[in-house]
Structure 1
Amino acid sequence: MHERVIKGGRVALDTGWAEVDIGIEGGRIAALGAGLAGAETIEASGLWVLPGGIDAHCHLDQPSWGGADTADDFGSGTITAAFGGTTCVVPFAMPGPGMTALQALDRSLACAAGRSFVDYGLHGVVTEGTGGDVGAQLARLAERGVPSVKAFMTYEGFAVSDDRLLGVMDAARAEGMIVMVHAENDAAIRRTQQRLVESGRTALRYHAVAHAEAIEREATHRAITLAEIAGARLVVVHVSCAQSAEEVSRGRRRGADVIGETCPQYLLLTAADLDRPAIDAARFVFSPPPRSSASQAHLWQALAAGDLGLWSSDHSPYRLADKLPDAAAPAFHKAVSGVPGLETRLPILFSEGLLTGRLTLQRYLDLASRAAADLYGLAHAKGRIAVGLDADLALWDPQRRWRVRRDDLHSGVDFTPYEGLDLTGKPVTTLVRGIPVVADGVLQPASPSGRFVPRSRAEAGSFNKPLEDTTPWIDI
């Protein structure tokens, strides 16, 4: 007899749908089959049992940025994740002023300890200010179960030079680490922003001009090229538009080891949402900004085809008032970027991707959890419904119709960019390592029991070789 059994549900396995019971012991899936018995039974008749989601791009409990504090710590942030069917998050260990990447990791681990309701990993972050000993810091991050590092190509205090980015890529490859990059050309943003401000064009809609598609496209191309030179494995995060998605596809066709990630906001929102009164438009200020309906169509196609391989929220939990620090004179260059999305990430993918037929079940499973587990070193424990893996599960009511309303969500953020969006399908029960965190839509009273999950490095032999080891001195 198992400790707990989930009976009667339609279960999503790697091989497709199956009518099986799930036996759980010691936090792991112990058996899949018919007629399983357990000391406790969760009845799932009429529900779809899916792997718990993995959101590998979110921001929780960060040092103040632009004068704004994050509205979600590891407590509220992981509660909102669980209500959205997500059972593991991988936020960024963002450094404060003067912090090394290792000090930032220690800070984030302290913030998370005893507060998280779901399991979690962390990504390292390197800036120009985190110290010159990049190789040593990355080696220590990898040893501590953090085999991924992010670099920014824009933002004051965060943007790295090409020299530093190549150094990060070289060091990461040596340690079996993934490099994540925010790809926007900082000089082009600063130049365009200055000209807009000088000409009096400061309404929030001009955020889409200061961060134009060409600016993202150039940086995406450059990051991929540098990764080819270094033989690095690269994730271009929050790909927002067709131009950047095409750069990812071109790089992959050349043999570059690059994966593109996109987010729900780029599939549902457009630049037209910025053309509103400032307090309303602020709900749609994020970077890169929302684009065109044509880019939306391209991104859906790229997700379906696998040209974009990751679906993340980029949950950036800033309160609406903090996004407009000068409410009397709102201006795009003073607004704080970021929107919440941990709780709505999977319901949007389920309703707008799986149920509409845009995505097959297998692509849904990839984007919900499997691809992130495989890429970021979690596949030994998470990402699938399979014997031996953690019993991270979400029970969905596939027929539940509901309207997204901020008052019904669980984030500390006081708005959602998806207010009024009608969706079909909702997770009603979420289990982390077999323990219900949310049951029948109610947060369970147990103390937070989420754990830090050390992640595995990539195999050294799986990386491309750097340019100097592959390119002859002459091609004849």
Structure 2
Amino acid sequence: MHELVIKGGRVALDDGWAECDIAIDEGRIGAIGTGLAGRSVIAAGGRWVMPGGIDAHCHLDQPVWGGAGNADDFESGTISAAFGGTTCIVPFGMPGPEMSTVGAIDRALDRATGRAVIDYGLHAVVTMGTGPDVEEQLSQLAGRGIASVKLFMTYQGFAVDDDLFFRVLDTARKLGWIVMVHAENDAAIRRTRQRLIDLGRTDIRYHVVAHSETMEREATHRALAFAEMTGARMTIVHVSSWQSAEEVARARVRGVDAIAETCPQYLFIGAADLDRPALDAARFVFSPPPRSPRSHDHLWQALIDGGIDLWSSDHSPYFFADKIARSRTPGFTTTLSGIPGIETRLPLLFSEGLLTGRLTLDRYLDLTSRNAAAIYGLAHAKGRIAVGLDADLALWDPEVSWMLGHSALHSRVDFTPYEGRSVTGKPTTVLVRGVPVVADGKLRVQPGFGQFVERTAADPARSGKPVEETTPWLDA
């Protein structure tokens, strides 16, 4: 007799759909089959039982940046994630000014403890303010269950120079970590931004010009060349355009261990959305910005054929008044970059990818949970419906249609860029380690139920060969 059995659902297994039961014991999947008996039962008839989603790129309760703090802390942010079918997140230990990387992780752990309702890991972040002992800091964090680090190529206070970039790549390679990169050319952005200001072109639509596809493409190419030189593994986060996606594809042909991530906003929001009255357009300001229909089409195809590996939210939660600095006519130079999306990430792809047939079940599972688990060191516990793994599950009603809108969501952010968009399919019951966190439209656990998950680094032997270890004179 099992502790809990989910009975009668259509279950998304690695080898396809199955009409079966899932037994849960001590928070893990104990058996998968038919006729399983449990002391408690959740009837899943008419539901699709999916692995809980893993959102490996989101921002919660970070130090004040750009004059405003995050609207979501680890309580409201993880509640919102849970209602969207996500059972594990990996946000960032983002440093404040002159804060060390270790100090930023300590701060994030303190903020998450006692607040999160789903499980979480943390990415490290290195900036020019990290301190001179970056190698020692990353090595220390490796012993604490951290397995990834993020670098920025733009943003004042965050962008790293090439010397530090290489130091982090070299260290990450030795540790078996993956390096996440925000790839935009900072000098080009600063140059173009100032020229637009000088010309009086400060309307929000010029955000797309100040952060053009060319700037993202160049930085993506350069970051991946650095990975090639060092043999490091690299994720290019929030790939927004066909140009940067093609750079990832070219790097892979050269043998670079390159991962591509995109986000819902790069499929469902376009550059034309910024060509609106200022207070309306401000809802669509994020970086890199939304792109052209050509990029939308290219990224959809990359989701279909495997050119894109990860589907993340880049949830960046700000109250609207803070986002526009309380201006009646916000411009691109004053509007904070970032939008909410932690709860809408999965419903959008479920509705427009899986249900429409654009994506196979296999690709949907890769994008929403399996790849994130494998890439970021969670596969020992999460990401799939398999015996022995955590019972992180989401029961979806595949037929219900509902409207995305602020009133229907659970983030503290007071707007959504998807206001009024209709989707089909909604998670109705969400379990973390076998415990219903969401059921019947209500939160069923207390803040603090979520646990920190230590992640596993890759075997450093899997890393590529750095350029100094090559012998080109021996090439045929």
1:84-103 matches, within 5 Å, as 84-103=84-103
* SS at structure 1 position matched to 2:90: strand
- Deviation of the 1:472 alpha carbon: 2.1
CA distance in 2, matches of 1:344, 1:189: 30
8 Å CA contact retained: 2:75, 2:447: no
In structure 2, give the amino acid aligned to 1:265.
Q
Can you list the C-alpha shifts for 1:374-406, whole angstroms capped at 9, x where unaligned?
000000000000000000000000001111011
- Deviation of the 1:98 alpha carbon: 1.5
* SS at structure 2 position matched to 1:165: helix
Q: Which residue of 2 aligns with 1:24?
A: 24
8 Å CA contact retained: 2:53, 2:368: yes
Can you list the C-alpha shifts for 1:41-73, whole angstroms capped at 9, x where unaligned?
000000000000000000000000100110000
1:90-169 matches, within 5 Å, as 90-169=90-169
Can you list the C-alpha shifts for 1:226-245, whole angstroms capped at 9, x where unaligned?
00001000000000000000
In structure 2, give the amino acid aligned to 1:203.
D
CA distance in 2, matches of 1:345, 1:326: 28
Q: Which residue of 1 aligns with 2:397?
A: 397
Distance of aligned partners of 1:475 and 1:2 in 2 relative to their CA distance in 1, 3 Å threshold: closer
Report the RMSD for the aligned CA atoms in angstroms: 1.0
* SS at structure 1 position matched to 2:117: coil
* SS at structure 2 position matched to 1:357: coil
- Deviation of the 1:328 alpha carbon: 4.1
Q: Which residue of 1 aligns with 2:184?
A: 184
Q: Which residue of 1 aligns with 2:337?
A: 337
Taking structure 2 as the reference length, the TM-score comes to: 0.99
CA distance in 2, matches of 1:49, 1:219: 40
8 Å CA contact retained: 2:279, 2:329: no
Q: Which residue of 2 aligns with 1:241?
A: 241
Q: Which residue of 1 aligns with 2:346?
A: 346
* SS at structure 2 position matched to 1:20: strand
CA distance in 2, matches of 1:337, 1:130: 23
Unaligned runs of 5+ in 1: none
- 155-164 or 388-397: bigger deviation: 155-164
CA distance in 1, matches of 2:355, 2:6: 23
Can you list the C-alpha shifts for 1:285-336, whole angstroms capped at 9, x where unaligned?
0000000111000000011111110100000001111111150452201210
CA distance in 2, matches of 1:162, 1:445: 46
CA distance in 2, matches of 1:214, 1:447: 44
* SS at structure 1 position matched to 2:57: strand
CA distance in 2, matches of 1:39, 1:235: 44
Q: Which residue of 2 aligns with 1:208?
A: 208
* SS at structure 1 position matched to 2:427: strand
CA distance in 1, matches of 2:98, 2:362: 44
CA distance in 1, matches of 2:51, 2:331: 42
Distance of aligned partners of 1:114 and 1:90 in 2 relative to their CA distance in 1, 3 Å threshold: same
CA distance in 1, matches of 2:329, 2:292: 27
Can you list the C-alpha shifts for 1:395-429, whole angstroms capped at 9, x where unaligned?
00000111101111000100000111111111010
* SS at structure 2 position matched to 1:107: helix
* Percent identity of paired positions between Structure 1 and Structure 2: 67
Q: Which residue of 2 aligns with 1:217?
A: 217
Q: Which residue of 2 aligns with 1:318?
A: 318
- Deviation of the 1:445 alpha carbon: 4.7
In structure 2, give the amino acid aligned to 1:251.
A
CA distance in 2, matches of 1:111, 1:473: 54
* SS at structure 2 position matched to 1:79: helix
In structure 1, give the amino acid aligned to 2:284.
F
CA distance in 2, matches of 1:305, 1:468: 34
8 Å CA contact retained: 2:120, 2:450: yes
Q: Which residue of 2 aligns with 1:472?
A: 472
CA distance in 2, matches of 1:145, 1:115: 20
Q: Which residue of 1 aligns with 2:33?
A: 33
Q: Which residue of 2 aligns with 1:262?
A: 262
Unaligned runs of 5+ in 2: none
**1:70 equivalent in alignment to 2:88:** no
In structure 2, give the amino acid aligned to 1:415.
F
Taking structure 1 as the reference length, the TM-score comes to: 0.99
* SS at structure 2 position matched to 1:132: coil
CA distance in 1, matches of 2:474, 2:382: 47
In structure 2, give the amino acid aligned to 1:264.
P
- 370-379 or 137-146: bigger deviation: 137-146
CA distance in 2, matches of 1:139, 1:28: 31
CA distance in 2, matches of 1:456, 1:445: 27
CA distance in 2, matches of 1:123, 1:52: 20
In structure 1, give the amino acid aligned to 2:452.
F
CA distance in 2, matches of 1:283, 1:114: 31
CA distance in 1, matches of 2:227, 2:472: 18
- Deviation of the 1:446 alpha carbon: 3.8
CA distance in 1, matches of 2:326, 2:447: 39
- Deviation of the 1:257 alpha carbon: 0.7
- Deviation of the 1:448 alpha carbon: 3.3
Q: Which residue of 2 aligns with 1:426?
A: 426
Q: Which residue of 2 aligns with 1:366?
A: 366
In structure 2, give the amino acid aligned to 1:30.
G
CA distance in 1, matches of 2:469, 2:285: 43
8 Å CA contact retained: 2:273, 2:284: yes
8 Å CA contact retained: 2:125, 2:150: yes
* SS at structure 2 position matched to 1:57: coil
CA distance in 2, matches of 1:370, 1:468: 34
1:386-465 matches, within 5 Å, as 386-465=386-465
Q: Deviating runs (4+, > 4 A) in structure 1?
A: 473-476
1:47-86 matches, within 5 Å, as 47-86=47-86
CA distance in 2, matches of 1:201, 1:64: 28
* SS at structure 2 position matched to 1:9: strand
- Deviation of the 1:278 alpha carbon: 1.3
- Deviation of the 1:475 alpha carbon: 6.0
